[in-house]
Amino acid sequence: MSPATHLEVTQPRLLHRSGGLRCEGASWRRRSVFVKTRESHAPHTVRRFWQEGEIASRLCHPLVVPLLARTPTQLVYPWIEGRTLRDLLQEGPLSPDEATSVAWGVLEALAYLHDEGITHHDLKPENVMLEGGRAEAGAVRLIDFGMSHLQDLPDGAEHLAMGTPHFMAPEQFGGVRGDPRSDLYSVGALLFDCVAGEPPHKDALAWLLGRPQPAPQLPGPAALHTFFGRTLQRDPARRTAEIRELQACLNRARALLNLPQLSLPDVLGQPGDALTSLWD
């Protein structure tokens, strides 16, 4: 990782600004990059930005975007040529084939994160990039570790309800940090959004606050409903905690729908293929 205090990027183009951060596409060392720059000195922003860099700097997995370089005010990631899952969903819901494939890839990325002691805590279609805009497991590139929690690292956000209401597990809303089962709830909400075109609860805050809500009408073919039942439980103890079991559940649904089974070698293609654009 570069020891520089400021990295000179060229050809910056502003993507967006929010929460004291500026996001740009740019060029760095003759490669296309995505740069997040911290503009605020507010203690919470400084802390979260440092935490994002600390967590992102440990990542090395083909379905997770790695960090290339960091300074106290800059995080530099490889530019992903593609679209976010949210961009894709603007055009309408995905087919069960596409939706289960993307969810399978997200689970694969999560299995890696959770093994590393990381809980993402902000899984949503905006934070899933798809290389080449393809709705496929092997195209998944997980981004945005701005809310993530790393075991053994002082968190600084204990008891804070950080996340995005429509995709946030109820215990996360209650301030629980670092429970990997919260991410599994979010995958359930993400698959729901992919199939239905909207997340499970219209009034997400009311659901999170425990106010009586009509049970959501489960979307898509019945073969997918077991997965929703295993992830979208209010009580984390009632969710399936094993990611491999959730992937198997998606594959059972795919079998019922006459869709091919997903496996890691198939998803990643020939060794190195999925890595080329990230690691060259």
Ligand X SMILES: Nc1ncnc2c1ncn2[C@@H]1O[C@H](COP(=O)(O)OP(=O)(O)OP(=O)(O)O)[C@@H](O)[C@H]1O
Told to check if 49 binds ligand X by CB under 6 A, we report no
| CA–centroid distance for 229 within its chain | 21
Told to check if 84 binds Mg ion by CB under 5 A, we report no
Answer for the pair 97, 107: CB distance below 8 angstroms, yes or no.
no
Question: Of 213, 184, 216, which Cα lies nearest the Cα of 200?
Answer: 216
Number of residues that bind Mg ion (CB under 5 A): 2
How big is the chain, counted in residues?
A: 280
User: 123 or 169, CB closer to ligand X?
Assistant: 123
Candidates 7, 26, 34, 246: give the one binding ligand X (CB under 6 A): 34
Find which of Mg ion, ligand X, none residue 28 binds, CB within 5 to 8 Å per kind.
none
Query: Could you give the string, one character per residue 70-99, with x where binding to ligand X holds by CB under 6 A and - elsewhere?
Result: -------xxxx---x---------------
Candidates 98, 144, 183, 193: give the one binding ligand X (CB under 6 A): 144
Told to check if 52 binds Mg ion by CB under 5 A, we report no
Question: Of 21, 31, 104, which Cα lies nearest the Cα of 66?
Answer: 31
Residue nearest to Mg ion (CB): 144
Cβ-Cβ contacts under 8 Å for 278 (sequence gap 6 or more): 62, 65, 66, 78, 141
Catalytic residue, chosen from 87, 97, 115, 122, is: 122
Choose the binding region for ligand X from 19-27, 169-177, 230-238, 244-252 (rule: CB under 6 A). 19-27
Task: Give the C-alpha separation, 138 to 209, whole Å.
Answer: 36
Q: Is 155 a catalytic residue?
A: no
How many angstroms separate the first and last alpha carbons of the chain? 16
User: Where are the strands (E) in 39-81, listed by range?
Assistant: 69-71, 74-78
At residue 205, what is the residue type? L
Candidates 7, 9, 21, 187: give the one binding ligand X (CB under 6 A): 21
User: 34 or 185, CB closer to ligand X?
Assistant: 34
Task: Give the C-alpha separation, 76 to 7, whole Å.
Answer: 9
- Which residues ranging from 156 to 215 are in contact with ligand X (CB under 6 A)? none
Candidates 144, 148, 240, 249: give the one binding Mg ion (CB under 5 A): 144
Q: Which residues are catalytic?
A: 122
